[in-house]
Amino acid sequence: MKPSDENSRPHSLRQRLLAGDTVVGSWINSGSPMVAELMATTGFDFLCVDIEHSAIDVPQAQQIFQAIRSGRRDCAAVARVHGVDYAFVKRYLDAGADGIVAPLVRTREEALLLVQAAKYPPLGLRGVGFCRANAYGLRLADECARANEEIFLAVQIEHIAAVRNIDSILSVPGIDAAFIGPYDLTASMGITGQFEHPDYLTASATILAACQRHGIAPGIHVVSPVPGEVQARMIEGYRFIAYSLDITMLTTACVAGLAAIRDAQKSIQPAGVLENA
């Protein structure tokens, strides 16, 4: 993607997926705007702020959205909210999120609630008010028109009930991606973390096939920091991929680096220490 002109808006995450692109992002759990800005600068296509499994609230999220945009204008700032809740979806979009990942969507009705909360009339029921998303009222009309075209919406498929209802969920207009939560999905099937289990492979294949039928981008979270796993998911057909998360990448680097130092430390004799002392 070419660098965008300072006065033009970059192609949105939603537009890129509609065009058939594959996007790779990551997850923000630390609540640190500095970490988010740094990760955006490195070139991720999107960063998802995890509201569901962290202590991040709306004011913190707004600061992180600002940091992401500061790091790189065409890195989308996405929020994984705590559930399909009209008030929360609206508040994070008003704070400047470019998209929403809604967890534990199991029915068509829940998918409809997400669209209604995120889209302005006539496509939805999102309330209109002065906020950061519309430059506090300075771009109100433009933002209402832009948001309905560009706000990205993903339903998280992380329960076996959602797999059974996958066609009705993905038939809802306005849903852009189906994002597999592999740990929760396997947990709901009684096979937690068993990603080679035949039942999980069947479920994920069912989701992928449904995405193809409905023209929806299939997505998945690759928690492992091993890049080869992301490449494998691309080959399988996933196009909205979250690569690891900030706290996992930090922990992995610390553990690996310190282990190497401790191993070397065993064979190093400090200067000035006599062997037979």
Q: Which residues participate in catalysis according to the annotation?
A: 53
Q: Where are the beta strands (DSSP E) in 122-165?
A: 152-157
Amino acid at 106: R
Distance CA(254)–CA(244), nearest Å, equals 15
Distance CA(9)–CA(107), nearest Å, equals 34
Distance CA(36)–CA(57), nearest Å, equals 15
Asked whether 174 and 153 are in contact (CB, 8 A), the reply is: yes
Q: What's phi and psi for 102, nearest 5 deg?
A: -100, 120
Q: Which helix (H) or strand (E) holds 240?
A: strand 240-245
CA 79 to chain centre: 7
